[in-house]
């Protein structure tokens, strides 16, 4: 895309003023409309060094209501960020509904170092947001080798700006052609219809600034028009498989498995000792651990988690109880609140209920649209693959009890004063939808169980048996990851 650009483009001052006057008014109006229509917007600035990204962002935000946008600068990853999966720091900075986030450099920062695979990860990353209604506008600012040299020299000539020029800047200026080819490969591969690039000839700042604002206005106008029309669903995917031919992964589970107290205590002691050592080894080796717990109400998630954390150093783990999303969370992509919580290297995050709520309760109760939860399997698989690639061990437990056992436990809770808080009307209501939930669990487990993030179905009619199985699975997986 870059090799064909005419970098000599410029604009007269009088034309510039006229353009800007007109566009500023429009842009302010459009920002208000986007906010009213709850449209989230991401605007990315990438480009050559000294191509004027900062200046362009300043020009762009001038007409905007400062409460409606935020600017983020992406630099070399901090120590904290280095300890997370690559997309962590970007996902956590994505805009809620109605807001505009502007990025001075973005997730493309790492794109040189990247082979094609990671560019495809970027495509997936962006797609999950555009599928969710986010508008992504991507600018690439181009200047010539000579112009870059001139700007670097000028920056160096003033004490105020001298610090902004690094050795890398000069190195890149010398290897301009090579840089350009790398950028070009990146641009061509990630120029997708749902998030296309606009290359901006940036030699003349007036021209560049007008082009950028005009492009933003046009894209947002189209988004507003689209949003005002009815929502439309294209993906064809339907459950080809109906009731009779469901995979029935929960059907084959042996619910009679049990364990006596003596054996339980013996096994528990042994496993907890090992887990304790593994947890500190994890910390030393900087391996993150993600444990995800889902299961029927009263399936024993809490008890199983307790038996894990009993022997773990509290500085190295974090239990995240997941309830219905709050207002702020609902304004973001449904995965946003989980990205916040993923563990850094060497730490463990234990989720009591998880991102799978999208394909369980949100599916069954209709909180998510059909196309939304159907898309979610693929989105979740991509996310877990990304986290596993960063070195994490991921295990997902489905705590499985049968309907009779649940009733027994519910009644027991109601009759035990200190447990009454654990049982609500909602629990009884959910119970009525047992079959629908079972169908959702079935599809979830089949579509999202993978080698790097397997589902473990825990036979949990016996609490003792279940707790040992969970402990054992975690210990085995960590030994495999740390000691082999």
Q: Which is nearer to a copy of itself, 53 or 375 (CB)?
A: 375
User: Shortest gap between Cβ of 231 and a copy of itself (angstroms)?
Assistant: 9
Q: Which is nearer to a copy of itself, 139 or 264 (CB)?
A: 139
Q: Which is nearer to a copy of itself, 152 or 250 (CB)?
A: 250
**446 part of the interface to a copy of itself, by CB under 8 A:** yes
Q: Binder to a copy of itself among 192, 255, 320, 331 (CB under 8 A)?
A: 192
**21 part of the interface to a copy of itself, by CB under 8 A:** no
For residue 479, give the H/E element and its range. helix 463-483
**402 part of the interface to a copy of itself, by CB under 8 A:** no
Q: Which is nearer to a copy of itself, 41 or 152 (CB)?
A: 41
Sign of CA dihedral 226, 88, 444, 462: negative
* Distance, CA of 161 to chain centre: 36
User: Shortest gap between Cβ of 270 and a copy of itself (angstroms)?
Assistant: 27
Angle between helices 261-285 and 301-309 (to 10 degrees): 60
For residue 102, give the H/E element and its range. strand 100-104
User: Shortest gap between Cβ of 298 and a copy of itself (angstroms)?
Assistant: 23
* Distance, CA of 245 to chain centre: 33
Q: Which is nearer to a copy of itself, 65 or 239 (CB)?
A: 239
User: Shortest gap between Cβ of 185 and a copy of itself (angstroms)?
Assistant: 6
For residue 127, give the H/E element and its range. helix 116-131
Q: Which is nearer to a copy of itself, 4 or 262 (CB)?
A: 4
Look at residue 335 and give its three-state secondary structure.
coil
Binding mask 264-303 for a copy of itself (x = CB under 8 A): ----------------------------------------
Q: Which is nearer to a copy of itself, 143 or 199 (CB)?
A: 199
User: Shortest gap between Cβ of 189 and a copy of itself (angstroms)?
Assistant: 7
Q: How far apart are CA 60 and CA 214, in angstroms?
A: 10
| Per-residue buried b or exposed e for 135-162, using 16+ beta carbons within 10 Å of the residue's own CB | bbbbbbbbbbbebbbebbeebeeeeeee
**450 part of the interface to a copy of itself, by CB under 8 A:** yes
Q: How far apart are CA 447 and CA 464, in angstroms?
A: 29
Q: What is the DSSP letter of 365?
A: T
- The answer to whether 1 and 185 have CB atoms below 8 angstroms apart is no
**64 part of the interface to a copy of itself, by CB under 8 A:** no
Q: Binder to a copy of itself among 29, 38, 171, 196 (CB under 8 A)?
A: 196
**Would strands 197-201 and 289-295 be described as parallel, antiparallel, or unpaired?**
unpaired
Question: For a copy of itself, how many residues bind (rule: CB under 8 A)?
Answer: 73
**441 part of the interface to a copy of itself, by CB under 8 A:** no
User: Shortest gap between Cβ of 390 and a copy of itself (angstroms)?
Assistant: 15
**215 part of the interface to a copy of itself, by CB under 8 A:** yes
User: Shortest gap between Cβ of 385 and a copy of itself (angstroms)?
Assistant: 7
Q: Binder to a copy of itself among 113, 117, 327, 418 (CB under 8 A)?
A: 117
- The answer to whether 287 and 346 have CB atoms below 8 angstroms apart is yes
Q: What is the DSSP letter of 195?
A: B
Q: Binder to a copy of itself among 36, 175, 194, 414 (CB under 8 A)?
A: 194
User: Shortest gap between Cβ of 374 and a copy of itself (angstroms)?
Assistant: 5
**130 part of the interface to a copy of itself, by CB under 8 A:** yes
Q: Put residue 233 in one of left, alpha, beta given phi > 0 → left and psi -120 to 50 → alpha.
A: beta
Decide: residue 345, CB within 10 A, 0-12 exposed, 13-18 middle, 19+ buried.
middle
Q: How far apart are CA 277 and CA 275, in angstroms?
A: 5
**Would strands 135-142 and 348-352 be described as parallel, antiparallel, or unpaired?**
unpaired
- The answer to whether 390 and 452 have CB atoms below 8 angstroms apart is no
**145 part of the interface to a copy of itself, by CB under 8 A:** no
Q: Binder to a copy of itself among 35, 307, 332, 374 (CB under 8 A)?
A: 374
**14 part of the interface to a copy of itself, by CB under 8 A:** no
User: Shortest gap between Cβ of 211 and a copy of itself (angstroms)?
Assistant: 4
- The answer to whether 207 and 11 have CB atoms below 8 angstroms apart is yes
Q: How far apart are CA 13 and CA 210, in angstroms?
A: 11
Q: Binder to a copy of itself among 189, 258, 276, 390 (CB under 8 A)?
A: 189
User: Shortest gap between Cβ of 219 and a copy of itself (angstroms)?
Assistant: 5
Stretch in the footprint of a copy of itself (CB under 8 A) among 143-151, 276-284, 373-381, 415-423? 373-381
Q: Which is nearer to a copy of itself, 274 or 374 (CB)?
A: 374
**449 part of the interface to a copy of itself, by CB under 8 A:** yes
Binding mask 86-105 for a copy of itself (x = CB under 8 A): --------------------
User: Within a 13 Å sphere around the CA of 355, how many CA atoms are in the beta-carbon half?
Assistant: 24
Q: How far apart are CA 199 and CA 138, in angstroms?
A: 9
């Amino acid at each position: 895309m870059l090799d064909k650009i005419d970098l000599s483009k410029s604009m007269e001052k009088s034309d510039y003023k006229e353009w800007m006057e007109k566009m500023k008014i429009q842009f302010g109006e459009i920002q208000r409309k986007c906010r009213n229509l709850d449209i989230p917007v991401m605007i990315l600035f990438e480009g050559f060094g000294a191509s004027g990204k900062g200046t362009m962002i300043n020009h762009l935000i001038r007409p905007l209501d400062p409460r409606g946008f935020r600017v983020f600068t992406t630099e070399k990853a901090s120590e904290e960020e280095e300890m997370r999966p690559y997309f962590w720091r970007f996902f956590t900075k994505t805009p809620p509904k109605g807001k505009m986030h502007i990025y001075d450099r973005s997730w493309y920062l790492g794109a040189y170092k990247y082979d094609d695979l990671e560019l495809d990860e970027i495509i997936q990353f962006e797609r999950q947001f555009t599928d969710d209604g986010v508008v992504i506008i991507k600018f690439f600012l181009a200047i010539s080798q000579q112009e870059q040299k001139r700007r670097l020299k000028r920056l160096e000539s003033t004490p105020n700006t001298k610090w902004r020029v690094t050795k890398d800047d000069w190195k890149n200026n010398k290897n301009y052609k090579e840089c350009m080819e790398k950028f070009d490969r990146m641009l061509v591969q990630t120029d997708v219809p749902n998030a296309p690039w606009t290359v901006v000839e940036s030699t003349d700042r007036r021209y560049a600034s007008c082009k950028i604002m005009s492009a933003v206005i046009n894209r947002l106008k189209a988004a507003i028009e689209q949003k005002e029309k009815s929502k439309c669903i294209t993906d064809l995917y339907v459950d080809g498989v109906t009731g009779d031919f469901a995979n029935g992964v929960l059907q084959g589970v042996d619910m009679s498995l049990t364990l006596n107290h003596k054996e339980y205590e013996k096994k528990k002691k042994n496993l907890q000792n090992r887990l304790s050592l593994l947890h500190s080894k994890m910390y030393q080796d900087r391996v993150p651990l993600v444990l995800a717990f889902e299961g029927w109400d009263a399936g024993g998630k809490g008890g199983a988690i307790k038996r894990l954390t009993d022997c773990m150093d509290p500085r190295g783990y974090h239990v995240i109880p997941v309830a219905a999303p709050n207002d702020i969370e609902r304004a973001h992509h449904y995965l946003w609140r989980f990205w916040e919580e993923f563990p850094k290297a060497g730490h463990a995050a234990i989720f009591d209920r998880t991102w799978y709520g999208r394909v369980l309760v949100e599916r069954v109760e209709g909180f998510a649209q059909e196309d939304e939860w159907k898309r979610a399997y693929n989105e979740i698989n991509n996310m877990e693959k990304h986290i596993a690639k960063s070195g994490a061990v991921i295990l997902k437990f489905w705590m499985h009890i049968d309907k009779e056992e649940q009733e027994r436990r519910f009644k027991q809770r109601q009759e035990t004063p200190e447990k009454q808080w654990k049982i609500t009307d909602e629990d009884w209501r959910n119970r009525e939808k047992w079959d629908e939930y079972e169908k959702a669990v079935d599809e979830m487990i089949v579509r999202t169980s993978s080698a790097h993030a397997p589902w473990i179905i825990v036979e949990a009619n016996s609490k003792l048996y279940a707790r040992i199985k969970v402990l054992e699975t975690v210990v085995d997986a960590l030994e495999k990851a740390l000691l082999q």
